[in-house]
A and B are shown apart, each in its own frame.
Chain A
Amino acid sequence: MKYAFWPGCVSRGAAPELYTATKAVAEHIGMELVELEAAACTGAGIISDGDPYLQDVLNARTLAMASKLGLPLIDICSTCIGVHSLAVEKLENEEYRARINERLAPEGLEYTGDTKPRHLLWALFEDLEGDRLRSLIKRPLAELKLGPFYGCYILRPERVLGFAEHPHRRRSLESAIELVGASVVTYDGMTKCCGFPILTTNKRNSLAMAGGHVGEAKDSGADALVTPCPLCHLNLDAQQYDAARVVRRKLDLPILHLPQLIGLAMGIEPDKLGLDGHVVNTKPLLRKAGVR
């Protein structure tokens, strides 16, 4: 199991604990991650506001870099997988792909359409042999009630995300929670937008969305949320106290990155998973889980 690894900007920036946790889990499982250090930001659908073509060139470049290594591309961010998957779809248009490849030619890169990016969440269930994943769960988190929080781009648009071939992807996050032995708490907002994309343009709306979802999950009995998206994590965790003010209630709900959850259940120590780097304190949760 060897992957071309795109860590995304946020795991190398404001959410370094995701990077730490991903590396720890990958090592534990035996996933070899070849980091694409020269790769660029996906543009996150924001560069494309003004420069859709530019964003496509940047993503074609990343896809081509993986292709050159002969490795499948792996993402650890819902936004990254969504933007990469949309780029793959657009680049099926041969005329458009040819135009974009001209921009990649100077470095000898070419995107030929043979790279299907995947998210770590999917790879866990699709790439590990047989029962291996289950056998690695050494510390079941049976005491915990966890709510999934997907992030839009790992769910929509369905047509680009391989849901037809891999129907389990629709509820992959619930599968992950079940895998670690915790119980799943469902709530309306779990598939909705966290609000992050408009945090800087319409802060009140953004925080109302984040606060609404966190509150709803809490009301449904969740001890914490799990997300495969560091941008959601930023809005749900890092902004949680501001969000609480907007929705006028106390929240204090820890938000876990997906690999932190998997790592915990595999017996990796919390400090190696960056669990001390969150805004919302995770210690009470860990105590409840019987980890400390």
Chain B
Amino acid sequence: MLEHGVLIVGSGLAGMRAALEVSEDPDLDVALLTKVHPLRSHSGAAQGGIAASLNNSNDEDSWELHMYDTVKGADFLADQNAAEILAREAPENIFELEHWGCAFSRLENGLIAQRRFGGHTQPRAVYAADRTGHALLTVLFEQLFRRGVKVYSEWYALDLVLRDNVCQGVVVYDILTGQIDAIAAKAVLFATGGYGRAFQTTTNAAASTGDGIVMAYRAGIPLEDMEFVQFHPTGLQGSGILLSEAARGEGAHILNAEGRRFMEDYAPERMELAPRDIVARAEQTEIDEGRGVTDKKDSVFMDFSPIGEERIRYALPSVLHLARDFAGIDPLQAPVPIQPTAHYSMGGIPCDVDGMVRLKDQNDTPIVGFYAAGECSCVSVHGANRLGTNSLLEAVVFGRRAGRAIRTAVRDLAPTRIEEGDLQRAVAEVDRLLKGDGPERAGAIRQELREVMMIDCGVFRTRPQLENCLSTLKNLQERYQRIAIDDKGWQFNTDLVEAIELGHMLEYAEVIITGALAREESRGGHFRKDFPTRDDQRWHKHTLAYRTDDGPRLAYADVNMQPQYRDPFPLEERKY
């Protein structure tokens, strides 16, 4: 049995930022546990930027405008106290990262450069070419290295241990040796990332399998707003690999088979720079109505020619290489076929603005010593749809806040303990998977899950589709009980890890579908063709899904409309 004062699970931006903050107190024993090496974390794949109203490229921006854009982008489902913090604390966070050496792109005058981004009314995306996430991840890892934070690299968390709403620690699996162990900690922070891997076409890395979310769910914590999944409009055809929104920020056009900038029909003012959900739906409509491009007619074109070669090379080098290496197309010569791709998980573990996990029930019950930050959490700053460049910002701002809160809280927390019985579920599950000799293969089940989620729970949804999706899922869950894996060994058993991840995917997919089925309206990333408008009367509220043996039980919570430093933004129609 291992023990640490504070255990951070997940080593992306939110996790590392929180770990650094906790390590400010030299007396605290903080460790970081991650199933991939910190430098491999999916935050590194974020491309376009991180938002902050620095006013480096203009002088009209303010935190209030940033907050307004965020709330409107969220289709008014964001908690306004959280959106306010996000926007207000953005600049100081950027400067801190810059002082640590982050390689942000620069203006001629030497200041940090900023550019336009979808849904933001001001040029406020701070960027490092089109590899902003990578630049941030690298600088945080450098700082982590410098401070000598203990890292359990390639350790996989299997279970969260709670007793009477008090967190005790985590059951863990050392991928290298195959040993199951437990780490007791007074405070545990989950920063385990999103859940996009349940969809066939996705920008997400293999690691984004919603592990932390499912661990919390299984421990009795409800999941919030899981039906809100963001489909990014510019994934490469086929693979779904992300082409940064920065391409549109820099001036790329999107064209249908007729060569027309069809966004003029959907968002005549903002055109290609409307928020992602709107552009993705516009694309899907064009495709569904037969105006798609290529032989498969399953995509539309992104045309880079308005940007110019020199600027593309300077500001979009990764986009240039991604199109060449993964689609075999040179954007300097030809338009690139793109399609909507599952990108970001708005839902997750409910928590407050200091990262403390709360049930968001009538008493707003806290889980003592359990925190969440980043994509796995639902604060909620993104509501029904996240604006580009707000995810890196959320990870940094709320990772830091959670770290600070933990640093203070942990002094007053009692030591925790993990008992033999707490390991039981994980040990039994690993044992079952290793010994299983049924006819089913994990690869096939995963494939079927991802296909049905994409088709029936994707950009557009209807009741019959969602019902079909749910029954297919139930069948897949049953088949999962009869799988056999090939690798029966202990060391570096990725076959086993992938099977456990599949179990997580099958669990949270059910929550997404159930929430989507119940929510009879269209808001942000959730679009019901049979209920195509927003219904504030009935649905201006967060979904909370509790785990039961019969599937998710839904409850609802109010949206916070009480920012601290200004009046709330009233609900209005969302037009661009």
Query: Do any CB atoms of chain A lie under 8 A from CB atoms of chain B in the complex?
Result: no
